[in-house]
Amino acid sequence: MRRRSFAKVNIFLKITGTREGYHTLASRFMRVNTLYDEIAFIKKESPSELFEIEGDFSCKTQNNSIYKAYNALVLKSKNPKIKHFFRDYKVKVVKNIPEFAGLGGGSSNAATFLLMANEALSLDLDKGELSSIGATIGADVPFFIYEYESANVSGIGEAVEPFDEEALDIDTFTPPIKCDTAKVYQRYRENYLSDNIDRGLIEELSKMRSKEILTKYDLKILNDLYEPACDLYPDLKRYHEEGWFFSGSGSTFFWILNPNLGSNHG
């Protein structure tokens, strides 16, 4: 079994407050159909109790989102078929999505693994159940579970509402800067968090098509994490060009390959 694990960009990302120690947000996620990892279940040379992940990762196995997804799935479903299957099969990942880049690569991998395991093992878990498992791993996982092209995401990532619009031709550039998401959010909380949240703007953005949003607003208005990310990683400003936007907590910039937006970096 083999499946693509897509990246995403945040068309807009607005922080709406905090809940139980987490930041709540309102955001438009859009899948990047041209940028993806590839995940496969491959037969092991010999059976082993060890859950194996093969791929070019910068973290230890126990910190890998797929490993976390495996453990969460075992804990939630309590189905012995899962451990039995992965005695004989390992997970192989071909990495193309940059890490620490605001593209949701780790969350996408976790979600894709859960979808694949659910199908391969006939666990019969619906998207809501898989999303609940995914939410324990990372805030972006539920979006990837639902496999929407575009969606409004709110809360701490658990509320995912599909948004009906045309897919955009998205191109990305990731500079050689690894942004620590936790540190970026911490800087936002320390220096930028305010009670004066523009709810009207958030409501307007949630109803607009992504192409219209990117035509009307610039990245400082659209992504609340851009300035705190620049505080921590000043070189980000050096890479920004007019007409580029900023995804998640960074460091990826993106643009739309469409001359009607006024900038075509293709």
Q: Where are the domains of the chain?
A: 2-162, 170-261
Question: Do the domains at 2-162 and 170-261 have one common CATH topology?
Answer: no
d(CA 66, CA 5): 12
User: Which regions in the chain score pLDDT beneath 70?
Assistant: 258-266
198 is catalytic: no
pLDDT averaged over every residue in the chain:
93
**In contact, 165 and 155? CB cutoff 8 Å:** no
Catalytic residue among 95, 140, 198, 207: 140
State the pLDDT at residue 61.
Answer: 85
* Alpha-carbon dihedral sign for residues 29, 30, 32, 37: positive
pLDDT tens, position by position, 141-186: 999 999 999 999 999 899 999 999 998 999 999 999 999 999 999 9
d(CA 88, CA 201): 52
What is the assigned CATH class of domain 170-261?
A: alpha beta
Give 2-162's CATH code, choosing from 3.30.465.10, 3.30.450.40, 3.30.230.10, 3.90.1150.10. 3.30.230.10
Alpha-helical runs (H) found in the chain: 65-77, 80-88, 105-120, 127-135, 141-146, 181-191, 199-207, 210-216, 219-222, 226-232, 236-239
Q: Tally Cβ neighbours within 10 Å of residue 233.
A: 19
8 is catalytic: yes
d(CA 144, CA 65): 13
